[in-house]
Structure 1
Amino acid sequence: MDTFFSATTGGFYLNGLHDEMPEDVVEITPERHASLFEGQAAGRRIVAGDDGFPKLGDEPAPGVEEVTVLARRRRDRLLAASDYRAMPDYPQSEAQRAAWLGYRQQLRDLPATSGFPAVILWPAEPTGN
């Protein structure tokens, strides 16, 4: 089977498997196809070159906005996972309740800490029941 790459879709197509292909497909050799996937497995990204052929590119570093969104999502998941610990009727000692409330407050305060979002010191979840 012949292998093709489309710069517009960033996808690979196989002759005989795909009945329809984008107009901009270019044929690539099996060796090039294999080396692209080896590079991808090593953490690189397959991108279209100026000539329309696929090449390996470096994954762009996430921007501050993306890192902030990811950090807030993680923080929100940790808060949601510990919501039940903040309920006044949850069976736990006062010390445990205070520890969990403190942990949750630390999570809420993370965005205001120095270095956020580039440097985040995630609080440890309290131990014990």
Structure 2
Amino acid sequence: MKRLYSQTTGTCYLEAVHAQIPKDAVEITEQLYMSVIGDPAPGKVRAHDDNGLPYLIDAPVSPIVVTGSQIDAERDRRIDAGVMFGGVLYQSKTTDRENIAGAAQMAFMAVVGGVQPGNLRWSNPDQDFAWICAENTLVPMDAQTVVEFGRAAALRKSELIYAGRALKDLPEIPENFTDDVWWPA
């Protein structure tokens, strides 16, 4: 039984079985049929030679399209990953940032109220003020340091927001948008 292949339809036909066979159908060997149509290699697609016979080529690689929401997710991951201040890493998830901002506001009020640098009892006269860092150790801070800590945390978040915006403004967002090269240190 003769097997025929039509480039136009991309289909095989058996001469004794099919009543209507396209005019461009050409004879195809069993070996070619099996390697190209019956059991093609993964990642390959059909192409055709000048005689209309199929052969396999590498499938075209579709460009990866990065979306704005992917940039936002990376930005948010980096915002939540912690903030360095004074050579120490501090947690910076949403509630951490709220706590830092609140402490910085209280510290600013204490500074305006005349608290002197080095005074660790600016928040509570019975206890030195300290912030718990990411390593779970206490870092003593006077009011002026806490104000700067709050400023550093806010600036870090702002830098990451603007870096994400800059990426989204590019004509084509790079596939490696998660690499540190695109984000502030």
Task: Say which one has the larger Rg.
Answer: 2
TM-score class, shorter-chain normalisation, is 0.3 to 0.5
TM (norm. structure 1) is 0.47
